[in-house]
Amino acid sequence: MRNVPLSLIMGFIFILSPWLSFGARIKDIAAIGGVRDNQLIGYGLVVGLAGTGDDIKNGFTKDTLANLLSRQGLSMKDKALKAENTAAVMVTATLPPFAKVGSKIDVLVSSIGNAKSLQGGTLLMTPLRGADGEIYAVAQGAVTLGGFTTGQTGGGTIKNHPSVGRVPNGALVERQVNLQLGHTVTVNLFQPDFTTAVRLSEAIRNALKEVETKAVDATSVEVKLPPRVDIFTLIAQIENIDVPVDSQAIVVVNEKTGTIVMGENVRISTVAIAHGNLSIQIKEETKVSQPLPFAPTPPREGKPLVDKEGKVIVAPGGQTVVVTERQAAVTEEKRQLVVVPQGVTIQDVVRALNAIGVTPRDLITIMQAIKAAGALQAELKII
Pair 233, 260 in one domain: no
For residue 140, the model assigns a pLDDT of 94
CA–CA separation, 234 vs 230, rounded Å? 7
Which of 206-220, 262-276, 329-343 is predicted with the least confidence, judged by mean pLDDT?
A: 329-343
Which of 88-97, 314-323, 358-367 is predicted with the least confidence, judged by mean pLDDT?
A: 314-323
Pair 259, 238 in one domain: no
DSSP string, 121-162: -EEEEEEEE-TTS-EEEEEEEE-B-S-EEE--TT--EEES-T
Pair 255, 375 in one domain: yes
Pair 263, 353 in one domain: yes
Examine residue 299 and state whether it is found in any structural domain, yes or no. Answer: no
Pair 212, 169 in one domain: no
Pair 197, 122 in one domain: no
Give the chain's domain count: 3
Crossing angle of helices 194-207 and 231-239, in 10° steps, is 130
Pair 111, 75 in one domain: yes
Look at residue 186 and tell me whether its pLDDT is greater than 50.
Answer: yes
Residue 308: CB partners within 8 Å, gap ≥ 6?
none
Q: Which residue, among 262, 257, 253, 248, has the nearest Cα to 351 in the 3D structure?
A: 262
Which of 78-92, 167-181, 231-245 is predicted with the least confidence, judged by mean pLDDT?
A: 78-92
Q: Is 236 exposed, middle or buried (0-12, 13-18, 19+ CB in 10 A)?
A: exposed
Cβ count within 10 A of residue 187: 27
Q: Is 346 exposed, middle or buried (0-12, 13-18, 19+ CB in 10 A)?
A: middle
The fraction of the chain above a pLDDT of 90, given in percent, is 25
Examine residue 199 and state whether it is found in any structural domain, yes or no. Answer: yes
pLDDT tens digits, 41-54: 999 999 888 888 88
Examine residue 11 and state whether it is found in any structural domain, yes or no. Answer: no
CA–CA separation, 107 vs 172, rounded Å? 10
Examine residue 55 and state whether it is found in any structural domain, yes or no. Answer: yes
Q: pTM of the full predicted structure?
A: 0.64
DSSP bridge pairs for 330 = 280
Which residue segment(s) compose the domain that 272 sits in?
Answer: 250-277+334-382
The widest CA-to-CA distance across the chain, in whole angstroms, is 116
Pair 232, 207 in one domain: yes
